[in-house]
A and B are shown apart, each in its own frame.
Chain A
Amino acid sequence: MPLLEVKNIKKNFGKTEVLKGISFSLSEGEVISIIGSSGSGKTTLLRCLNFLETPDKGTISVNDEVLFDGENIKNLKENKIRENRLHFGLVFQSFNLFPQYNVLDNVTLAPKLLKKGTNEEIENNARALIEKVGLLEKIDSYPCQLSGGQQQRVAIARALAMNPDILCFDEPTSALDPELTGEVLRVIKGLKESGSTMIVVTHEMEFAKNVSDKIIFMADGVIEEMGTPEQIFENPQSEKTRHFLQNSLEKL
């Protein structure tokens, strides 16, 4: 039984069709990478999953519970949306750490406000997560004192602190200097080894190939091709996929 089931998600911005019917599923512990050129709808798809955008059509279910049904948008109340969001975590391209809080407080803010345990439990859990991303010695630092890579690792710990079923990454290394991408990708790889279910939108082809169980190639708002890394990278069926991969590899 899949953990996440996305069926026929459609989203328009004005007259532009950004998502033209996206369906896929994800099992527990699986990692899916979404690749594709800019403007193909990858980020919009992630934002729909995190309810930062409301799809126009389609359904999103987690653990067989329908979180979103395009037929029933009007009944979607603010509280329900917030509850839905807790199934997902999102790591942004631009980190979006809260600048006025230090590392520990960034990680504990949401669990404390949403009373996810006693303060002591929350702080111990946060310390463990900050250690997991390798930043225990920076626990009292403020975001402005950290490098981009360190900020992104804190953002990962912050997302994990709410214990989401599925952790989403929106181009987590695109805003980083090349020498800092490694530390972030290593953390994500570590999460896979500890069994986290993840969806990663990325331009790092090598990383997608090594870490993912499944690759989704998106083009013009549809899933052009989906398969294992071997299928997509070694033996792409679609002309668009071949073209995209060729261009991506040429850059290297």
Chain B
Amino acid sequence: MFWEVVINLFENFLVTLELFALTLLFALPLGLIISFGSMSRFKPLSFLVKVFVWVIRGTPLMLQLILFYFGPGLLVTVAEQANYNNFFIDFMRDLNMADPLVTAVIAFSINYACYFSEIFRGGIQGVPKGQQEAGEVLGLTKTQIFFKVTLLQMIKRIVPPMSNEIITLVKDTSLARTITVYEIIWSAQDYIRNDGLLWPLFFTGVYFLAFSGILTLLFNYIEKKLSYFKV
């Protein structure tokens, strides 16, 4: 019984990992784009982006998940009653029919992209202007300066806050349970419902601990690799 539970939980932990990996995959580039938006010299754009980041960071992720889960269905119903249709409504219809994991990935990606964007912004703006200027007076191109001078300094600056955020993401994935993503917590709760077993729920902590442990080691390794210089 024990091993059966352990293996079954592991299979559902893979769903957790899938959500984790896909969120990172989309949220990292999206976060970079949002950070550029918030740093834009075009004021209306940077204002809009900042308001967006404020709303996303200022409301619970669980609320956003529920909105993305029920919102498309509601919109489609209202649109159908009004006999209204366009590509957006079609998209909402698809989303409504999609696997809840897809909905979760979208909500998580947007949410985490906003947090990442602030970290990126800090990393980019934290590199002293003098570094860029030193490259400029030596005649380097903007691209050379970015890749050969500032990039590594940015990475060094963002590793500690990023590792924090990414480890939080590991545990936040369990929120996807609220929109019926059958991840590890939910599968553990099934043991309570069906078999009256409580321990599998607590045992899920082992998986979270193990995975965040691996990530911690990985980030420590990166930090150590970058410790040969100071910024």
Contacts and interface: CB of A to CB of B under 8 A. Distances in A.
A85 B139 contact: yes
Given A100-B153, A142-B229, A162 B139 contact: yes
Nearest to A49: B137
Nearest to A162: B138
B229 to A, nearest CB: 4
B140 A114 contact: yes
B168 interface: no
B contact face: mostly helix, strand, loop, or mixed: helix
A90 B231 CA distance: 21
A216 B42 CA distance: 41
Contacts of A97: 134
Interface stretch (B9-17, B67-75, B141-149): B141-149
A36 interface: no
A94 interface: yes
A86 interface: yes
A48 to B, nearest CB: 12
A71 B231 CA distance: 41
Nearest to A106: B134
A110 B140 contact: yes
Interface string A141-159: 0111000000000000011
Contacts of A110: 135, 138-140
Contacts, number: 64
B152 interface: yes
Contact of B148 (A83, A113, A159): A113
A98 interface: yes
B215 to A, nearest CB: 24
B6 to A, nearest CB: 45
A99 interface: yes
B139 to A, nearest CB: 5
Residue among B133, B134, B142, B230 facing the most chain A CB atoms (10 A cut-off): B134
A5 to B, nearest CB: 20
A82 B231 CA distance: 26
Contacts of B144: 113
Interface string B147-173: 011001100100000000000000000
Interface in A41-74: 50-52
Nearest to A50: B137
A180 interface: no
B231 A99 contact: yes
Interface in B187-225: none
A109 interface: yes
B137 A143 contact: no
Interface in B101-145: 128, 130-131, 133-142, 144
A84 B137 CA distance: 10
B153 A99 contact: yes
Given A113-B144, A142-B228, A142-B229, A96 B134 contact: yes
A92 interface: yes
A98 B231 CA distance: 9
A89 interface: yes
14 contacts: A50-B137, A52-B136, A85-B136, A85-B138, A85-B139, A96-B130, A99-B229, A100-B229, A109-B138, A113-B148, A114-B139, A142-B229, A144-B229, A159-B137
* For the complex of A and B, 4 pairs with smallest distance between CB atoms: A110-B138, A96-B134, A96-B130, A144-B230
